[in-house]
Amino acid sequence: MLERSGIGISSGIVMAKAYVFRHSEIYISHEMAEDRDAALALFEAAYRKTHSDIDAIEASGEDEKALLAVYKAMLEDPDYLLLIRSNIKERGYNAAWAVEAATDKYVSLLERVNDDFFKERIADLRDISERLMISISSDSRREVSVPYPAVLAADYLLPSEIISMDLSNVLGLCLDKGGVTSHAAILARSLGIPSVFALGDLSFHVTDDDVIAMDGKAGTVSVNPDRRTRSSYRKRMDNELRSEAELKADAGLPAITKDGFQVSLMGNIEGMEGIAAAIKAGADGIGLFRTEFLMMQPEYADEEKRNAIYRETVERMSPYGPVTFRTYDIGGDKVPKEMKIEEENPILGWRAVRLCMEMKDLFRDQLVSILKASASCHGTRLMFPMVSGSEELRSVIAFLDEVKDECRGKGIAFDEDIKIGTMIEIPSAAITSDVIARYVDFMSIGTNDLIQYTIAVDRGNEKISYLYRPLHPAVLRLLAHVAESAHKNGIPVSMCGEMAGYPDYLPILIGLGIDELSMAPSSIMEVRRRIRTLSRSSCASFANHVLSLPDAQEIENALKEFNSTYGKA
Q: Are 174 and 223 in contact, with CB atoms under 8 Å apart?
A: no
- Type of residue numbered 149: P
Element (DSSP H or E) covering residue 268: strand 264-269
SS3 235: helix
CA atoms within 13 A on the CB side of 32: 7
Q: How many residues does the chain have?
A: 569
Q: Are 250 and 27 in contact, with CB atoms under 8 Å apart?
A: no
List 214's β-bridge partners, or say none.
14, 221
- The residues near 554 (Cβ < 8 Å, ≥ 6 apart) are none
Q: Are 434 and 394 in contact, with CB atoms under 8 Å apart?
A: no
How many angstroms separate the CA atoms of 53 and 46, rounded?
10
Tell me how many degrees the CA angle 523-529-533 measures, rounded to the nearest 5.
Answer: 140
Q: Other C-beta atoms within 10 Å of 465: how many?
A: 11
Of the residues 174, 356, 496, 539, only one is catalytic, namely 496
- Type of residue numbered 147: P
Q: Is 183 a catalytic residue?
A: yes
- The residues near 410 (Cβ < 8 Å, ≥ 6 apart) are none
> Going by DSSP bridges, is the β-strand pair 170-175/150-154 parallel, antiparallel, or unpaired?
parallel
Q: Is 496 a catalytic residue?
A: yes
Q: Which of 276, 284, 343 is nearest to 313 (CA)?
A: 276
Of the residues 183, 377, 472, 539, only one is catalytic, namely 183
How many angstroms separate the CA atoms of 98 and 540, rounded?
60
Q: Are 305 and 344 in contact, with CB atoms under 8 Å apart?
A: no
Active site residues: 183, 496
